Amino acid sequence: MTNKIIFLTFFISFFSSTAVNADMFVNLLDMPQKGKTKGGAGMLISSEIEMERKDNVDVYDAERQSFVVSAMHGMSNNTGVFGGFSYITDGEWNDDLEGNTYFGGAYGEVDLIQGTKVVAYGQYKSFDEEYNGKLDVSGSEISVGFLGVFNLDSGTNFYIGPNYVFSSKIDVEKYSKDYERKKKFGVRLGFNHPMSGKNMNFYGTAGFMNEQSFFLGVSRDFN
């Protein structure tokens, strides 16, 4: 019961916060134990999202490639929080795009049967970018998701589950109309593979339907 209260407290706290992309950068298959912290780093190899103006006019594709650094901290053995930032190495939204994204969230897992569990998570992102070297672009996004996790005998495990973008907003300086993500519901896939002889894991995530994204990274213990 205590673990559930801790998870719900952090889950709600992030939702009460008011980038735009719901990419999952942390390794939800390499969760830290209570009081422990794990770090991660990797590359968002590709991300493409359709954005539309609030009056349903002018639909654009937002594309990004980013370098990402993240951390997860265990509040218990089954719940925790995470956060980090990403730096755009190559981006385009009808023209050149550059800048940073900051994200944070909470997660919790429940064991079902041997070798299978479900993970619930919530994530908040905010970003500050520059469009075409002239206009400031800023915004935020809140997403939620559930993941079914499956373990293989080899030690590799993977997940699949739905993702929903609860809130999406982009403000472009000097434009009177805000933009938002066109499609809100999607599916997320991920895998984790322990690296032999090292206290590290190789992992990847992919998003479909509401975005087309692919991320690869490594995670390891901080303490």
User: Under a CB-based contact definition with an 8 Å cutoff, are residues 204 and 216 in contact?
Assistant: yes
User: Under a CB-based contact definition with an 8 Å cutoff, are residues 64 and 89 in contact?
Assistant: no
Q: Which architecture characterizes domain 2-221 according to CATH? A: Beta Barrel (2.40)
Q: What local confidence, expressed as pLDDT, does residue 72 receive?
A: 94
* pLDDT (average), residues 17-27: 60
Using alpha carbons, select from 73, 76, 112 the residue that is nearest to residue 4. Answer: 76
Query: pTM value?
Result: 0.78
- Choice between 85 and 166, residue whose per-residue pLDDT is larger: 85
In one letter, which amino acid is 39?
G
**Over the stretch 26-35, which tens digit does the pLDDT of each residue have?**
999 888 999 9
Q: What local confidence, expressed as pLDDT, does residue 106 receive?
A: 94
Q: Which of 10-24, 109-123, 152-166 has the highest mean pLDDT?
A: 152-166
Residue spans of the domains in the chain: they are 2-221
- Choice between 192 and 199, residue whose per-residue pLDDT is larger: 192
